Structure 1
Amino acid sequence: MDYKDYYKVLGVSKSATQDEIKKAFRKLAMKYHPDKNSGDKTAEAKFKEVNEANEVIGDAEKRRKYDELGSNWNAYQQGGQTGGGFDWGKYQQQYSGGQGGQNYSTNFGDFGSSFGGGGGGGFSDFFEAFFGGAGSGFGGAKQRPGGRRQQLKGEDTQAELPISLEDAFNGAETIFEIGGQKIRLKIKKGSYDGQTLKLAGKGYPGHNNGPNGDLLLTLKLQKHPLYNRIDDDLYMDLPLDIFTAVLGGKLDVTTLKGKIKITIPPETSNGKTLRLGGLGMPKYGKDSQHGDLFVKIDLQTPKDLTPEEKKLFEQLRDLRKK
């Protein structure tokens, strides 16, 4: 039986970091996922192969054991001292905690069955022989004590979901598709950018009838043309004509709750910020509580003045000089 190079299966080097291995696995798993390749036996085989590779080198401890034995695994599995100086008895004792490998079949049987073991998990003959899932390679442990193979939860998957500020303010229900399945999701009031929601059982399939992994969904708040959100507060610029700025008056302001009228105090300067309490975002999990809306005055200078208007401004200037 040939040695299976799990690094080559995932297309990574032996010096790859755990993050690089995880990224490579997710890319290939998404490519060959059964939901995207219905009825394609080749894709199904590739999906199982990359899954098997990830189960081994995607875990730091299991990867270390795999790397330590390497391509000479077939010689080591015979037990005892090999020509290369590898003392299998010590290796057994090191990982099983027993003397002379007494717990050997239990230790490595668990290791193999934790991946699903046997044909039920869909793993290769090499895997079975290497980890003792169904063959006699490392002790021939076909199953866990009690006659049952351990079920293994599927891999979690991650995705981003763009949401509008209005949906985050009012709450909404959306339907999106990922991995060939449609998912209905409720966006709660006050949801925020970067928030991660866990959708149980919406990730990759489990092994040996184990539960599916979870979908970790990160909300991505879309940029709004009018408001800027910081925590639960909203910020906006309010264009203001020079006459209302000088004399004061009433002005319509658009909020996420609708239009309201606010009072502009006389002699309002450019850049002044007005605080409108309770008109910001609802606090997540506390719908009755809101942040504030901060309105920054953006003074508009008159343009295209008529000769008469210009003359009036000049008169005003002269009055201010007295």
Structure 2
Amino acid sequence: MDFKDYYAILGVSKEADDKTIKKAYQKLAKKYHPDVNPGNKEAEEKFKEITEAYQAISDPEKRRKYEEVRQNYESWQKHGGQGEYDWSRWQAHPGEGSYTRTMTPEEFAEMFGTSDWGGGFSGGSGFSDFFSTLFGMGNIGQSSNSRRRAHYSQAGQDIEIEVTISLEEAYYGTTRTIDTNDKRIQAKIPKGVSTGSKVRLAGQGTQGIGSGPNGDLFLIITVEPNSDFTREGDDLTTAIAVNFYKVILGGEVMVRTLSGNIALKIPPLTQGKTKLRLRGKGMPRLENPKHYGDLFVQIQLALPDDLSKDEVSVLKELAAKHRRL
């Protein structure tokens, strides 16, 4: 008969507390439960093994006895381990232990966050010889008043997929074809999204188990930088070159917005780097797409490179007059 390292089976240290042991078992039981792996004998055997380990070291009395056996067995190995280890000294006497106890539905609900786990462990046909020798004979998942197979229900997992779109697509909204879970879906991306936005597609994650709901699919949005606009929240900023005649005398210039070109009035004597606001010409607000941010237009002075001699002469006269004032 082989010694069983129940700590290694559950993937915990020998010093693990009850909470750590319970959490480790919960994770493994969900993974290897027969209802999750129908027809998979290997998973079923693994489930029995981790259930046995949990039965052994989650119970204080059993764990104390197991610790005595483990320490004695390891000491015997360190001293050469000659012959066969004497297991008889640890054999449980008739009536010893509470080996047939199963978890109640309430305990399962507390451990797994669901009441669908029935009245006990499922899929067990008996403890190992090692466990039975130490703690007595018994059946995993069976008790005198509960023989039915537990039913397992678990929600499907959520899936996250990164999606990159242009600023124009963020302005108008767009769609993406997503291949996931052996299916293809057309995902709608609403207008107004920004980098870091999460678009939730309910029920498009992995399939739930039993009566558990499907998980959700989340699109993690990245909006590409745009050469014409910078974005801050729902507001946009763009720059436009204006010749010095309009900067001085005022006038109109055409400004490109994401919804089309629009005329912008330049006040007389506008200073360079002045920002003029076009209300409602920014990005649609994600939470209320009928409302928009603003577009700020930064004025950049553009000097003409084709001035005539007469124009230069006039400018010199104006400059000289300005210095005398």
Q: What TM-score, normalized by structure 2, do the two folds share?
A: 0.59
- Separation (CA, whole Å) in 2 of partners of 1:203 and 1:77: 34
The offset of 1:311, in angstroms, is 4.5
**Contact between 1:159 and 1:217, CA under 8 Å: does it hold in 2?**
yes
Q: How does 1:195-206 map to 2 (within 5 A)?
A: 195-206=197-208
Decide which of 283, 300, 308 is 2:285's aligned counterpart: 283
Q: Find the counterpart in structure 2 of residue 23 from structure 1.
A: none
- Separation (CA, whole Å) in 2 of partners of 1:288 and 1:74: 60
Q: Find the counterpart in structure 1 of residue 122 from structure 2.
A: 133
Identify if the C-alpha distance between structure 1 residues 145 and 304 changes in structure 2 by more than 3 Å, giving closer, same or farther.
Answer: farther
The offset of 1:301, in angstroms, is 3.4
Can you list the C-alpha shifts for 1:282-318, whole angstroms capped at 9, x where unaligned? 2224333222111111122345767666545433322
- Separation (CA, whole Å) in 1 of partners of 2:147 and 2:112: 13
Q: Find the counterpart in structure 2 of residue 186 from structure 1.
A: 188
Count matched residues. 246
Q: Find the counterpart in structure 2 of residue 298 from structure 1.
A: 300
Q: Find the counterpart in structure 1 of residue 103 from structure 2.
A: 105
Can you list the C-alpha shifts for 1:128-161, whole angstroms capped at 9, x where unaligned? xxx9432145962269998550211122121221
Identity %: 27
Decide which of 308, 313, 316 is 1:314's aligned counterpart: 316
Note the residue ranges of structure 1 that are not aligned, 5 or more in a row. 9-13, 15-44, 56-65, 87-99, 118-130
More deviation, 139-148/232-241? 139-148
The offset of 1:178, in angstroms, is 3.8
Structure 2 counterpart of 1:140, one-letter code? I
Q: How does 1:8-87 map to 2 (within 5 A)?
A: 76=57, 80=62, 82-85=65-68
Q: Find the counterpart in structure 1 of residue 267 from structure 2.
A: 265
More deviation, 282-291/303-312? 303-312
Q: How does 1:158-197 map to 2 (within 5 A)?
A: 158-178=160-180, 180-197=182-199
More deviation, 165-174/225-234? 165-174
Identify if the C-alpha distance between structure 1 residues 139 and 102 changes in structure 2 by more than 3 Å, giving closer, same or farther.
Answer: closer
- Separation (CA, whole Å) in 1 of partners of 2:163 and 2:311: 53
More deviation, 196-205/275-284? 196-205
- Separation (CA, whole Å) in 2 of partners of 1:166 and 1:265: 30
- Separation (CA, whole Å) in 1 of partners of 2:246 and 2:57: 88
Can you list the C-alpha shifts for 1:65-101, whole angstroms capped at 9, x where unaligned? x8xx9x9668659974524259xxxxxxxxxxxxx79
The offset of 1:276, in angstroms, is 0.9
The offset of 1:272, in angstroms, is 0.8
Can you list the C-alpha shifts for 1:253-294, whole angstroms capped at 9, x where unaligned? 111121111111111101111111111122224333222111
More deviation, 296-305/269-278? 296-305
- Separation (CA, whole Å) in 2 of partners of 1:139 and 1:302: 94
- Separation (CA, whole Å) in 2 of partners of 1:134 and 1:113: 20
Note the residue ranges of structure 2 that are not aligned, 5 or more in a row. 17-39, 70-97, 128-137
- Separation (CA, whole Å) in 1 of partners of 2:147 and 2:235: 57
